[in-house]
Structure 1
């Protein structure tokens, strides 16, 4: 097999791409650095020129995933403007869309056990992604009386948790679990129930 990393001058990215394929196929702990090296077409020793171990490789995959995720969240937020409700709902849907389109990145970010504080760069981009949903929550919170208004961080965390639960239980083919409703519908109705509870949408209003 040709050593693509050397030939293209981007061995580091070739290893990340190989890791993403292996993560998707075997899970974050189901492959070795040697397998990643073989997938990338290089010797195992070459891996250590860029990564100290498998966790470092997964952390870089997660960092790149958060970059994509943050950009997608920001795009969804901007697309929903000027409606605070539309912008907020769009960020929830963006989570589901990301998990479907980038499963390897999603697993590296949320299922690998790698801390977002492992590197400064990973922490920074994770914070950027969180900030988009908090910003959307803060915008929408302006429509709630002060005495009933939850902190924007709590508001966004509730929707993040709801989105994550739908993804984990019903959108990623969890063994033994099946839903009679599409994941998109579950998320939409769940967000709707939450927002109605806060008085942000009327009982007969679609979110």
Structure 2
């Protein structure tokens, strides 16, 4: 990211992008707000024109991530597609995923983040409802699928599945696990 003097353009977006990149490389605690400012091409004090601190910067990045996850979820037509969209988000949007779920940011401390997180979960719940037949216990299905999708996503995100010797791809494993879960309801 190039420095453009005082008129940076969209400095807020550049700082969020820098934070996401740094988290993907170093983890949510592996960088400073000053590192994000430097990567965005501005002096550290410029960051504080848009964010109170590093946590507020990460909250903005998490909000963006939940909005993107909600969009991905909204495009799915089946429970398998839903699971794969969740998994692909975790792997392809590594920085967002870590900020959203591993940075320890409390959504209730940031109202717009809280709304984005709730909207993403609501989209997930609606996708599960619309792909379910009448008579299914939706609460059990929702909790079970969310646990399954999130667990697989965490394992794939961290590379743990390959590290312990699973030969199939995370996508293949998740699809088989979804079918098994649905068959045992």
Q: Give me the TM-score of the superposition, normalised by structure 2.
A: 0.90
Counterpart pick for 2:175 among 178, 182, 188: 188
The runs of 5 or more residues in structure 1 that have no matched partner are 81-86, 199-207
Cα drift, residue 176 of structure 1: 4.8
When the two chains are superposed, the root-mean-square deviation of aligned CA atoms in Å is: 2.0
Provide the secondary structure at the position in 2 that maps to 1:164: helix
Which residues in structure 2 correspond to 1:18-167 (within 5 Å)?
Answer: 18-76=18-76, 80=77, 87-144=78-135, 149-150=136-137, 152-167=138-153
Distance across 1 between alignment mates of 2:116 and 2:6: 28
Distance across 1 between alignment mates of 2:121 and 2:101: 13
**1:16 and 2:16 equivalent?**
yes
Distance across 2 between alignment mates of 1:127 and 1:5: 38
Cα drift, residue 155 of structure 1: 1.8
- Larger Rg: 1 or 2? 1
The runs of 5 or more residues in structure 2 that have no matched partner are none
Q: Give me the TM-score of the superposition, normalised by structure 1.
A: 0.81
Distance 1:113 1:182, change over 3 A: same
Provide the secondary structure at the position in 2 that maps to 1:117: helix
Distance across 2 between alignment mates of 1:8 and 1:53: 19
Q: How many residues are treated as equivalent by the alignment?
A: 184
